[in-house]
Chain A
Amino acid sequence: MAHLMDNTHEPVEGRAPLILGGHDFKSMTDAVAAPMERKTPLGWWLCFLPSLAMLSLLGVSVGWLFWEGIGVWGLNNPVGWGWAIVNFVFWVGIGHAGTLISAILFLFRQTWRTSINRSAEAMTIFAVMCALIFPGIHVGRVWVAYWMLPAPNQMAMWPNFRSPLVWDVFAVSIYGTVSLLFWYVGMVPDLATIRDRTPSRVKKLIYGILALGWRASTRHWQHYERAYLILAGLATPLVLSVHSIVSMDFATSQLPGWHTTIFPPYFVAGAIFSGFAMVVTLMVICRIAFKMEAILTLRHFENMAKIMMVTGMMVGYAYAIEFFIAVYSGNPYEQFVFVNRAFGPYAWAYWIMVTCNVLSPQVFWIKKARTNLAVLFVMSIVVNIGMWFERFVIVASSLHRDFLPSSWDYYSPSLWDVTTLIGSFGLFFTMFCLFARFLPMVAMAEVKAVLPGADPHGDGPRVEIRGAD
Chain B
Amino acid sequence: MGLPLPMVPRLPAGKSYGLLARFEDAASIYRACEKVRDAGYTKWDSHTPFAVHGLDRAMGLQASRLPWVVLLAGLSGATGGMLLQYWVAVHAYPLVISGKPLFSWPAFVPVTFELGVLFAAAAAVFGMFAFNQLPMLFHPLFSSRNFEAATDDGFFISIESWDPKYDEAETSTLLREAGALEVEVVDNE
Contacts and interface: CB of A to CB of B under 8 A. Distances in A.
A25 interface: yes
B137 A150 contact: no
B181 interface: no
A192 interface: yes
A218 B56 contact: yes
Interface in B113-147: 113-115, 117-118, 120-122, 124-125, 127-129, 131-132, 134-139, 141-142, 147
Nearest to A167: B110
A181 B111 contact: no
Interface in A413-455: 444-446, 448-449, 453-455
Contact of B110 (A150, A156, A234, A245): A245
Interface string A231-249: 1001101100100010010
Contacts of A234: 74, 117, 120-121, 124
Contacts of A133: none
A212 B139 contact: no
Interface stretch (A158-166, A266-274, A286-294, A297-305): A158-166
B153 A29 contact: yes
B129 A174 contact: no
A212 B59 contact: no
Nearest to A185: B125
Interface residues of B, number: 74
Given A218-B46, A224-B132, A161 B151 contact: no
Interface string A80-119: 0000000000000000000000000000000000000000
A344 interface: no
Interface in B36-50: 45-50
B47 to A, nearest CB: 4
B55 A218 contact: yes
Given A174-B114, A234-B117, A454-B26, A25 B139 contact: no
B26 A456 contact: yes
A178 B131 contact: no
Interface string A144-186: 0000001000001111111010110011001001100110110
Given A166-B111, A177-B118, A216 B26 contact: no
A102 to B, nearest CB: 13
A141 interface: no
B125 A231 contact: yes
B132 A220 contact: yes
B75 interface: no
A461 to B, nearest CB: 16
B5 A219 contact: yes
A230 B67 contact: yes
Contacts, number: 213
Contact of B93 (A158, A237, A241): A158
A313 B34 CA distance: 51
Interface string B12-27: 0000000000000111
B88 A223 contact: no
A107 to B, nearest CB: 15
Given A158-B88, A161-B88, A220-B134, A196 B151 contact: yes
B46 A178 contact: no
A237 B85 CA distance: 21
Contacts of B137: 208-209, 212-213
A225 to B, nearest CB: 5
B183 interface: no
A341 to B, nearest CB: 28
A351 interface: no
B92 interface: yes
Central interface residue in B93, B125, B129, by most chain A CB within 10 Å: B125
Contacts of B147: 215
B30 A218 contact: no
A39 interface: no
Given A215-B142, A224-B132, A170 B111 contact: yes
Interface of B: 2, 4-5, 25-27, 29-30, 33, 45-56, 58-59, 61, 63-64, 66-67, 70, 74, 84-85, 88-89, 92-93, 95, 97, 100, 104, 107-108, 110-111, 113-115, 117-118, 120-122, 124-125, 127-129, 131-132, 134-139, 141-142, 147-153
Closest 8 CB pairs of A and B: A456-B30, A25-B153, A227-B128, A212-B135, A158-B93, A196-B148, A221-B51, A193-B151
23 contacts: A25-B152, A25-B153, A150-B88, A161-B85, A161-B88, A167-B111, A171-B110, A171-B114, A174-B115, A189-B50, A213-B137, A216-B47, A217-B132, A218-B61, A220-B132, A223-B66, A223-B131, A230-B67, A234-B74, A234-B120, A241-B113, A449-B53, A453-B25
Given A178-B118, A224-B51, A230-B67, 12 more contacts: A160-B95, A164-B110, A185-B125, A216-B150, A223-B131, A224-B128, A234-B120, A241-B114, A456-B30, A456-B52, A457-B53, A457-B54
